[in-house]
Amino acid sequence: MTDRPKSSFLAGDGVAHVLMAQAALIFALNYVIGRWAAGEVAPYTLGFTRWTVGALVLLPFAWHLIRRDLLLLQRHWKLLCLLGFLMPLMGAGITYVALNYTTAINGGVIQTSLPVLIVVLAWIVLGDRVTRRQLFGVVLAVVGLLYMISRGDPAILLDLAFNRGDAVLLLCNLCLAGYGVAARLMPKEVHTLTLLTMVCAVGAMCHVPFFAFELAQEGLPPLSTKAVVSLVFVAFFPSVVAILGWNVAIVRLGPSRAGFYMYLVPVFSAAISVPFLGETLSAFHLIGVALIVGGVTVSTRKPGTDESA
């Protein structure tokens, strides 16, 4: 086969950039849909549907890889259970609980702090080197995060009067950061599709007791347009389309270039939720996201020659 010209869209990074932008849009829509469905579809019903269907969709494609990697999965089953708990349940499933109390815009802004949270946890858990520059970036991002959560009023933090949904979203992102750190401990021989499918399956099982409780208390969601659209969306897009696209693109672009697409999540969240949900974009959102993005940009650069903190 002859190589395509380097100027070709397919031969270059064009497809990877499109996949990254698509993934960021889906992540933002996940907050919007979760907020839109609040009160009509119970949060763990959304989470159980998302991860169960995700596992079932991926299984036919991953089955031969799972069989190949079975011994490694059995050897690291505790780590696999931890990953399934941290990302699908605590990182994503609890997000739908939080969106009963806070806005989709806040969800998008808080998610931009994820890379800096990974830096902090990797330093604490794995002993990764942290430079003074990175430490400055961490502090800057944390200040921006607290500024946004306090809605620009420090007294809200001192009085512990911040929105509980924002606090839960922060916990969700800490757990997602924990997943990012823990996933580094999984042997590289385990195929990405194997890991994603098994994490979806474990995550679905983690949702079972909460989903069963919701069914006992509220029954199945109504057969309404809102319920059907939200359940179909979470079943196929955040866990399958977005994550697969992200993983394919990150191989081409590398994590540093790909990470900047996470900054599009609050942009997309605001652009959609303001007209669609009637949410308000405030000055504290803009100041908070500016500080977070600045901190993440500094803290996620590769360490140079500056001394460790």
Q: What is the pTM of this model?
A: 0.85
pLDDT digits (tens, 9 = 90+) for 90-125: 999 999 999 999 999 889 888 888 888 888 888 888
Whether 114 and 282 have beta carbons less than 8 Å apart is answered as no
Is the pLDDT at 250 greater than 80? The verdict is no
Question: Per the structure block, which two tokens stand in for 185?
Answer: 């401990």
Q: pLDDT band at 69, cuts 50/70/90?
A: very high
Give the whole-angstrom CA distance, residue 142 versus residue 117.
9
Residue type, 248: V
Q: Which residue, 143, 121, 181, 262, is CA-closest to 130?
A: 121
Please state the rounded mean pLDDT for residues 198-203: 96
Residue 11's contacts (CB-CB under 8 Å, 6 or more residues apart) are 3, 4, 5
**pLDDT reading at 158 higher than 80:** no
What is residue 283's predicted lDDT score, i.e. its pLDDT?
A: 86
Task: State the Cα–Cα distance between residues 162 and 154, nearest whole angstrom.
Answer: 10
Whether the pLDDT of residue 232 is over 70: the answer is yes
- Under the banding of pLDDT at 50, 70 and 90, the label for residue 12 is low
Break the chain into its structural domains and give their ranges: 14-299
Q: What is residue 301's predicted lDDT score, i.e. its pLDDT?
A: 66
- Asked whether residue 302 carries a pLDDT value surpassing 90, the answer given is no
What single letter denotes the amino acid at residue 95?
Answer: T
Reference 118, options 138, 88, 143; nearest CA is 138
223 CB-side CA count, 13 A = 0
Closest CA to 47 of 277, 226, 202, 264: 202
Which has the higher per-residue pLDDT, 131 or 95?
95
Residue 126 has pLDDT above 90, yes or no: no
Cα–Cα dist 254/181, whole Å: 17
